[in-house]
Amino acid sequence: MSVDLSVDVGGGLRLANPFIAASGCFGYGVEYADVVDLATLGAVAVKGLFLDEREGHPPERIVETPSGMLNAIGLQGIGVRRFVAEKLPPLRWRGAVVIVNICGSTIDEYAEVARILDDAEGVAAIELNISCPNIRKGGMAFGCSLRGTHDVVAAVRGVTRLPLIPKLTPNVTDVAAFAAAARDAGADAVSLVNTFLAMAIDVETRRPRLSNVMGGLSGPAIRPIAVRMVHECRQAVPLPIIGMGGVMNADDALEFLIAGATAVQVGTANFVDPFIWGKLVAGLTGYLERHGMAGVTEVVGSLELPARDAGSPSVAS
């Protein structure tokens, strides 16, 4: 195919195509090795890792909602050391570009996890999860405070030269301010959005549907809000953006690219169709060819805004 799908998401991280498996929606990647050639994805963002193992929340952990789903997994995970020992090697020899999503209850924990990954072989980038709505300490607590965001990012920046990608929460008033804070603290890019804090109630039992009461909303339902937030960050902050939220097909991904995202993560859609990756590449390639574009970079941020005086009918021309 004649078009160039490769993108540069900052910090020297170049991807063969802009499609990345979203963290927490692709296990540790190895689970999908039978289904898809991991090397054909732009990258794989693995499930969020703390320093130690975590059991996460009891069931029910997910519930479907209109055009979306809530999850409260609680970041069950094997811890960064076991990940490095057990998962990184198979990911490497399968040729996966591995982005490691890291969490912490304290700034020191974030830094410690990052340090361990910095020493490891085969980590392409670190995605800093300061936006998980499903844990009591850390996570969103950092992501909802500009100061907290700056401090975590700066601390991790201090211990690693790996491309650093803070993942922003949408549960804030002004997401662009957080992108700016992340940049000032040394981030190479930002990824957004994580899930929206939400809840569902079983009206017959009058109990929450999730054991954790609240969970994170993902899926097509949130796409219009996520696209808006990517647009806002693009307008405000000169920093590569990895956009996500409800991408189900190539056209959805194009909304994010046109709004200003350099790459796109896909989470919930992978549950519906684990074979989506080839379809996304084919769809994007077809679009670029149809529109006579040489590569993805031409479409990134190509949104055409109307003349700003289009506000009154008398001049609505």
Partner 1 sequence: MPVDVDAVVLSNTRLSSDYNVLALAAPDVAARAGPGQFVMVKPGFGDHPLLRRPFSVFEVFEDDAGRAAGLSLLNKRIGVTTRALFGLEPGAVVRCLGPLGRPFSPAAPPERAWMVAGGVGLAPFHSLAVALRARGVEATLFYGARSAGELFHLDAFRRLGVRLALATDDGSRGDHGLVTLPLERALRGLDPADPVRLYACGPTPMMRAVTDLAHAHGRRTEVSLEQVMGCGLGGCYSCVVPVRRDGGAPRFVRSCLDGPVFDGGTVVWDGLGGLPG
Ligand X SMILES: Cc1cc2nc3c(=O)[nH]c(=O)nc-3n(C[C@H](O)[C@H](O)[C@H](O)COP(=O)(O)O)c2cc1C
| Residues noted as catalytic | 132
CB of residue 97 to a second copy, shortest distance in Å: 26
| Residue (11 or 216) nearer to partner 1, CB | 216
Under the binding rule (CB under 8 A), the answer on residue 193 touching a second copy is no
Question: Residue type at 256?
Answer: F
DSSP SS3 for 17: coil
Question: Residue type at 275?
Answer: F
| Residue (14 or 136) nearer to partner 1, CB | 136
CB of residue 299 to ligand X, shortest distance in Å: 19
| Residue (65 or 298) nearer to ligand X, CB | 65
Under the binding rule (CB under 8 A), the answer on residue 70 touching a second copy is yes
The site for a second copy, by CB under 8 A, has a size of 59
Q: How is residue 81 annotated by DSSP?
A: H
Q: Which of residues 32-61 bind a second copy (CB under 8 A)?
A: 55, 57-58
Which part of the chain contacts a second copy (CB under 8 A), choosing from 7-15, 102-110, 207-215, 268-276?
207-215
Under the binding rule (CB under 8 A), the answer on residue 285 touching partner 1 is no
CB of residue 40 to ligand X, shortest distance in Å: 18
Under the binding rule (CB under 8 A), the answer on residue 196 touching partner 1 is no
Q: Which does 27 bind (CB under 5 to 8 A by kind): partner 1, ligand X, a second copy, none?
A: partner 1
| Residue (240 or 246) nearer to partner 1, CB | 246
Q: Which of residues 101-140 bind a second copy (CB under 8 A)?
A: 136
- DSSP state letters, the chain: --SB--EE-STT-EESSSEEEPTTSSTTSGGGTTTS-GGGSSEEEEEEE-SS-B--PPSP-EEEETTEEEE-----B-HHHHIIIIIHHHHHHTT--EEEEE--SSHHHHHHHHHHHHHSSS--EEEEE---TT-SSSTHHHHT-HHHHHHHHHHHHHH--S-EEEEPPS-SS-HHHHHHHHHHTT-S-EEE--PEEE--EETTTTEESSTTS-EEEESGGGHHHHHHHHHHHHHH--S-EEEESS--SHHHHHHHHHHT-SEEEE-HHHHH-TTHHHHHHHHHHHHHHHTT-SBGGGTTT---PPPTTTTSGGG--
Q: Which does 142 bind (CB under 5 to 8 A by kind): a second copy, ligand X, partner 1, none?
A: none
Q: How far is CA 303 from CA 114, 208, 227, 230, 274, in A?
A: 36, 40, 12, 12, 30
What CA–CA distance (Å, rounded) separates 221 from 167?
20
Under the binding rule (CB under 8 A), the answer on residue 272 touching partner 1 is yes
Residues in contact with a second copy, shown as a per-residue x/- string from 168 to 187 under the rule CB under 8 A: ---xxxx-------------
Under the binding rule (CB under 8 A), the answer on residue 82 touching a second copy is no
Catalog residues that contact a second copy under the rule CB under 8 A. 55, 57-58, 65-68, 70, 74, 136, 144, 171-174, 196-201, 203, 205-208, 211-214, 217, 219-225, 227-228, 231, 246, 251, 254-255, 258-259, 287, 299, 302-306, 310-313, 316
Catalog residues that contact partner 1 under the rule CB under 8 A. 24-27, 31-32, 34-35, 47, 55-56, 58-64, 66-69, 71, 73, 76, 202, 204-205, 207, 209, 211, 219-220, 248, 268, 270-275, 313-314, 316-317
